[in-house]
C-alpha cells in the first residue's frame, strides 16, 4: 500500500515587469499526505482550503487524472489529507501549487518517473504561464520562457539578499479576472520600453543592486498600470512601504496581494509598521523558499 507526502511552496509571480516569466517561491506551503485506499477521499484540515467537494470535482484530483491520462494510465484510489497556509485567489500561486501536487500524485501512483523538466512542462501546459510553476518546483527566484515550439526554458537566479513582506487583503481576485483587464497587444514602442525595464530589473538583481531593482520593479508597463485599480490600497501600500525603507513594492502575481522587497533583516520591523496602517490585512514577513517541491515516500 503506497503512502507518500508532498509539499509545494507558494509563489509570487511577475515581480513587476517579469510578467508571465519571473517568480519567487515563498515559505507558505501546501502539504498533502496521500495513502492508497479502497475509495477516493479528500480531507481538508485547514480553513483556508474551504469545504471538500466531491472527489471528481476536486481540482487536485482532476490534475492527477489528466496527468495519468497523458501516459494512458488510470489512478488507483487514495485518501488525500490536505493542509495549507497559502491563501486562495490572492496572487500567491495557490493554483500552481495545487497543479504540481496533482502532477506529483499521478507521478507517484502510476510510477511515471517524471523528470523535473516534464513536471515543469506539464504544469506550464495547464497554467498557461510558467512564472508560478517554475519557482514552486525549483525553489528560489526563477525566470522561465515558453518558446514558439512550446518548450519551457528556465534559469534559477542566485539567491537575493532581500527580505520580503506580503500584504494580503481579505478579498479574493481570480487570476482569470485580473488577466481580463490586460491589453490584447502592445505597440512595438510599448513592448520595447516594457522589456527594457524588465531587462534592467534582472541585471540589477544579478548585480545585487537592490535599490535599482526596486525602482525598476515599480516601473512595469506590462500589467501593473492596468491592474492597479483592481488592487485595494495599491498606492497607499507602495508609498508607505517605500517610506519605511522598502526597495520596491509590486502586485504579487495577479493580485490582490502586494509584495515588498526590503533590506535584509528589516522584514519584521517594516511588516509591523505596515500592520498599523492596514489593520484589516494579513501582513507577513516571509522568507524565500529555496527548496521547491518536496516528496517523501517514507
Ligand X SMILES: N[C@@H](CCOP(=O)(O)O)C(=O)O
Ligand Y SMILES: Nc1ncnc2c1ncn2[C@@H]1O[C@H](COP(=O)(O)OP(=O)(O)O)[C@@H](O)[C@H]1O
Binding site for ligand Y (CB under 6 A): 30, 49, 59-60, 82, 84, 88-95, 98, 174-175, 253
Interface residues for ligand X in 215-244 (CB under 6 A)?
223
Q: Could you tell which of ligand X, ligand Y, none binds residue 179, using a CB distance below 5 to 8 A set by kind? A: ligand X
Residue 84 among known ligand-binding residues? no
Q: Which of 253, 256, 267, 292 binds ligand X (CB under 6 A)?
A: 253
Backbone angles phi, psi at 215, to 5 degrees: -65, -45
Q: By Cβ distance, which residue is nearest to ligand X?
A: 253
Residue 91 among known ligand-binding residues? yes
CB of 111 to ligand X, least distance (A): 30
Residue 157 among known ligand-binding residues? no
CB-based contacts of 209: which residues, under 8 Å, 6+ apart?
Answer: none
Query: How many angstroms separate the CA atoms of 219 and 197, rounded?
Result: 7
CB of 177 to ligand Y, least distance (A): 8
17 binding ligand X? (CB under 6 A): no
Residue 87 among known ligand-binding residues? yes
131 binding ligand X? (CB under 6 A): yes
Query: How many angstroms separate the CA atoms of 270 and 238, rounded?
Result: 12
DSSP string, 174-206: -HHHHHHTS-S---HHHHHHHHHHHHHHHHHHH
Residue 54 neighbours by CB distance under 10 Å: 9
Residue 88 among known ligand-binding residues? yes
Q: How far is CA 5 from CA 64, 82, 104, 269, in A?
A: 15, 10, 10, 35
Residue 198 among known ligand-binding residues? no
Give the dihedral sign, CA 254/259/261/264.
negative
Interface residues for ligand X in 65-84 (CB under 6 A)?
none
CB of 222 to ligand X, least distance (A): 9
Three-class SS of residue 24? strand
Q: Are 103 and 96 contacting, i.e. CB atoms less than 8 angstroms apart?
A: no
Residue ranges with strand state E in the chain: 3-13, 22-36, 41-44, 78-84, 141-146, 152-156, 162-168, 248-251, 258-263, 282-286, 294-296
Part in contact with ligand X (CB under 6 A); list of ranges 61-69, 78-86, 128-136, 203-211: 128-136
CB of 289 to ligand Y, least distance (A): 16
Q: Could you tell which of ligand Y, ligand X, none binds residue 165, using a CB distance below 5 to 8 A set by kind? A: none
Residue 90 among known ligand-binding residues? yes
Show binding-site residues: 87-97
In the complex, the residues that contact ligand X under the rule CB under 6 A are 13-14, 19-20, 91-93, 95, 129, 131-132, 175, 178-179, 223, 253-254
Show binding-site residues for ATP: 87-97
Amino acid at each position: 500500500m503506497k503512502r507518500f507526502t508532498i509539499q509545494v511552496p507558494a509563489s509570487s509571480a511577475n515581480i513587476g515587469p517579469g510578467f508571465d516569466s519571473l517568480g519567487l517561491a515563498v515559505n507558505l506551503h501546501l502539504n498533502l499526505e496521500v495513502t492508497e485506499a479502497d475509495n477516493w477521499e479528500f480531507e481538508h484540515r485547514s480553513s483556508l482550503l474551504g469545504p471538500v467537494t466531491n472527489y471528481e470535482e476536486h481540482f487536485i484530483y482532476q490534475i492527477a487524472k489528466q496527468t495519468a491520462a497523458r501516459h494512458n494510465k488510470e489512478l488507483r484510489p487514495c485518501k488525500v489529507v490536505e493542509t495549507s497556509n497559502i491563501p486562495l485567489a490572492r496572487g500567491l500561486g495557490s493554483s500552481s501549487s495545487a497543479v504540481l501536487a496533482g502532477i506529483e500524485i499521478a507521478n507517484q501512483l502510476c510510477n511515471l518517473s517524471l523528470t523535473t523538466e516534464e513536471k515543469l512542462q506539464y504544469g506550464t501546459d495547464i497554467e498557461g504561464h510558467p512564472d508560478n510553476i517554475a519557482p514552486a518546483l525549483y525553489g528560489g527566484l526563477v525566470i522561465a520562457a515558453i518558446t514558439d515550439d512550446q518548450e519551457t526554458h528556465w534559469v534559477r537566479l542566485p539567491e537575493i539578499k532581500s527580505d520580503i513582506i506580503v500584504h494580503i487583503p481579505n478579498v479574493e481576485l481570480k487570476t482569470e479576472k485580473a488577466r481580463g483587464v490586460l491589453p490584447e497587444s502592445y505597440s512595438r514602442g510599448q513592448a520595447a520600453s516594457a522589456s527594457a525595464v524588465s531587462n534592467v530589473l534582472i541585471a540589477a538583481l544579478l548585480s545585487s543592486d537592490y535599490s535599482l531593482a526596486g525602482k525598476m520593479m515599480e516601473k512595469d508597463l506590462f500589467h501593473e498600470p492596468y491592474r492597479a485599480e483592481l488592487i485595494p490600497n495599491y498606492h497607499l501600500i507602495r508609498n508607505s512601504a517605500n517610506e519605511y525603507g522598502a526597495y520596491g513594492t509590486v502586485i504579487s502575481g495577479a493580485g490582490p496581494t502586494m509584495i515588498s522587497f526590503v533590506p535584509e533583516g528589516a522584514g519584521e520591523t517594516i511588516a509591523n509598521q505596515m500592520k498599523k496602517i492596514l489593520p484589516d490585512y494579513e501582513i507577513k514577513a516571509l522568507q524565500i523558499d529555496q527548496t521547491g517541491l518536496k516528496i517523501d515516500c517514507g
